Structure 1
């Protein structure tokens, strides 16, 4: 049983930071922040889950079935992630590229302590804990300040695939497209640093401040950290309603208002960017139809333009109504990995990018989120994110772009550098 206690918060923005600072004492943390970004399908402004009562950690073998059993047995709030390499549980695929991070393929935990903030209303939901402990924790939270850490060493960021090699690999993808093997492929490359010592919370706060995305995440599982400023929702379930919001299409922001507006308009009209988005929207429609009530799949918005602090993005919204014969985890399994991070057709694209990429994606281009006790869920897409293995002292971030028949390799490379800008700035 969970005890619920409600509080009114006078300064929600300050309280969110206090929650984050207070959480650092725990081994397991998931902190989700919408940054007050205006959106149609937001349940909470901020969520914090800490301190595992139970958890599940596994590789890709039978992972979705294990998650389904865990979710159905606990019937409680669960927080965690699905790594990209769970593709190997769904299809006859492999992940044999270099992995410097060593994160498990799937990890979820049932938190003892949970905080849900909407506006200035805070709901505190503790598991089998007395009210006195809630009040004591609340007092400690509002007094929380950032703890001082030792000065960090300079980080030397390296690029896994150098420019000349990148251009050659994109040309090979274009050959596959012209041969009719695929229509589109999301090709990614890693930036990394070895022997890196960073303060994860400081880096997350900087990354979140310069990006202010709707699906920011601070995740910690002992020595594994995710610091994410992702603007993309993968999938949300509200009752029978399923919502997917794939991003395809990126343009620069400019300080000059006229130049910035021109960039936004150019993105909206760009035939290459629209083709990218429409192909993936069609793939998402097909994926959702596998668990949908007949005739319920709808495109609510096609190629909408949304502006974030770092970039303009083209986003479509696709919805469906879930057929009662399918579970919450079934929806995830039949749509994973998200089309925006693979390409189309999905399986062919995944095989090709696996051969050409040089790093195992792991949690990058996977999903982080939560299940509510009633089976509703909300998951983001892990992009614009820093991953850190504190024990190995290995820091990594990856970026990618969608390669279509209209792609020019040099421009795709420039798009990757644009997407890498925020993470590089935070780590430098």
Structure 2
């Protein structure tokens, strides 16, 4: 069946095919086998098609930034989940087929159960990373279901601890092969109509801040907290602690417009936009948390940061300075060891490797030190078990993880909520990819929040650590200030 879509100046014309991938060789309209509809690829097509859905609850876009980066290949768009799981505190609300149930059990185990109940287990696709499945947010405070932590910081952001949908279709852009593919179960024709339907909600005005950004701690308060951490380090309670400050401002207008504006200037490979109820999560993350491809695990922790410089020669010297920094290498190595231990709880014995240590990667505003850890997932272990074993990522807590999290709870005035959790997917085929939700903004009842932190070790200096937090938001906060209602 031929089709033509003309949407916001983008023309999509092609053929709907019910032929599945060569690995499956299925031509029927089975509800348990994926079908692949090829759409003509054009730059920007996926964001244009997502725009009308951006205000719809449970719509989500994982965006690769389209930069010259090894992970800037796939963009994934979803909406209309068959199942939703929303965790707040000790209770998870499960919605399936219009029925709502409440569960007090482990959210990761409940998600695994729901994926298995779908009955969908396609073979991995040779190219496409996601064949439908779970996609959404695992917030930092979900760790309270895994560890015993104090209750000190204010829980003043209303987003849930976990918000994950199970999706039976996805639109995927392959920016390397320049292909746009609709993955679906059943007849794809209704989905094509859904993708081109006019938005139900009323148009939202342009994004603008209505006050200046304010931090939840003053410079002197940051200094006092830094010195408290040094006391914990000297006492041997921790080896490293990630201390963050939060910037907040009132705003009006379209969060989707804010995301597009930030994305244009921050081409981060693990970016995301997720609509949770009326609120939004805007992520411009450069950091992978975990991935699984054909049973192979990878994590790429970031530890070590220096700001970019305008002069190219000075910027190259800045990279060299970071690469040679003994302090940053020590900080990075601590997190590598932590993640090796976390992954080793699930991975096949003897399979954990570190193929890259202390590599320097450059992003819009900063240079980062990045290491790579790999392992093999046993055939009898589920991706949900891997996330649970490693959650939250050690690169944003410190080490030992639980001790560092207890110090964070005592010193940071507000809970992190979604920030420094993880955003990503678990495909029906067993593939997994998720970020560390850094460079991530949350909206809550007319307020937008943005955090920035850094790992503090024994030889850290207060001013350098404080400046690192400012460097990490230097390409975010001013951009939203400047946007200020412009179309």
TM-score w.r.t. length of structure 1? 0.92
Answer yes or no: is 1:53 the counterpart of 2:82. Answer: yes
Question: Relative to 1, partners in 2 of residues 1:21 and 1:419: Cα closer, same or farther, differing over 3 Å?
Answer: same
Instruction: Answer whether contact 1:35 1:45 (CA < 8 A) is retained.
Output: no
Structure 2 stretches of 5 or more lacking a match? Answer: 1-30, 91-105, 121-131, 482-487
User: In structure 2, which of residues 62, 72, 78 is the aligned counterpart of residue 32 of structure 1?
Assistant: 62
Aligned to 2:9: none
Structure 1 stretches of 5 or more lacking a match? Answer: none
Count of residue pairs brought into register by the alignment: 419
**CA deviation map 1:291-349 (0-9, x unaligned):** 11111100010010001111111100001111334221111111111010111111111
**CA deviation map 1:168-191 (0-9, x unaligned):** 101110111111111101111111
Aligned-pair distance for 1:139?
5.4
Q: Matched residues in 1 for 2:478 and 2:208: separation?
A: 15
**CA deviation map 1:4-31 (0-9, x unaligned):** 23324342x2213312323225322110
**CA deviation map 1:242-283 (0-9, x unaligned):** 100000011111121101101111110111111111111111
Q: Matched residues in 1 for 2:41 and 2:427: separation?
A: 27
User: In structure 2, which of residues 209, 216, 222 is the aligned counterpart of residue 160 of structure 1?
Assistant: 216
Answer yes or no: is 1:186 the counterpart of 2:242. Answer: yes
Aligned to 1:225: 280
Aligned to 1:408: 461
Q: Matched residues in 2 for 1:218 and 1:173: separation?
A: 34
Answer yes or no: is 1:334 the counterpart of 2:389. Answer: yes
Question: Relative to 1, partners in 2 of residues 1:59 and 1:147: Cα closer, same or farther, differing over 3 Å?
Answer: closer
TM-score w.r.t. length of structure 2? 0.81
Aligned-pair distance for 1:162?
0.6
Q: Matched residues in 2 for 1:274 and 1:8: separation?
A: 46
Aligned to 2:109: 65
Aligned to 2:372: 317
Question: Relative to 1, partners in 2 of residues 1:155 and 1:199: Cα closer, same or farther, differing over 3 Å?
Answer: farther
Answer yes or no: is 1:349 the counterpart of 2:380. Answer: no
Q: Matched residues in 2 for 1:9 and 1:265: separation?
A: 43
Q: The residue matched to 1:109 in structure 2 has which SS?
A: strand
Q: Matched residues in 2 for 1:336 and 1:23: separation?
A: 30
User: In structure 2, which of residues 357, 360, 366 is the aligned counterpart of residue 305 of structure 1?
Assistant: 360
Instruction: Answer whether contact 1:100 1:394 (CA < 8 A) is retained.
Output: no
Give 1 or 2: higher helix fraction: 1
Aligned to 2:446: 393
Aligned to 1:9: 40
Q: Which 10-residue stretch deviates more, 393-402 or 52-61?
A: 52-61
Aligned to 1:421: 474
Max radius of gyration: which structure? Answer: 2
Instruction: Answer whether contact 1:252 1:312 (CA < 8 A) is retained.
Output: yes
Q: Matched residues in 1 for 2:394 and 2:410: separation?
A: 18
Question: Relative to 1, partners in 2 of residues 1:38 and 1:401: Cα closer, same or farther, differing over 3 Å?
Answer: same
Aligned-pair distance for 1:137?
4.5
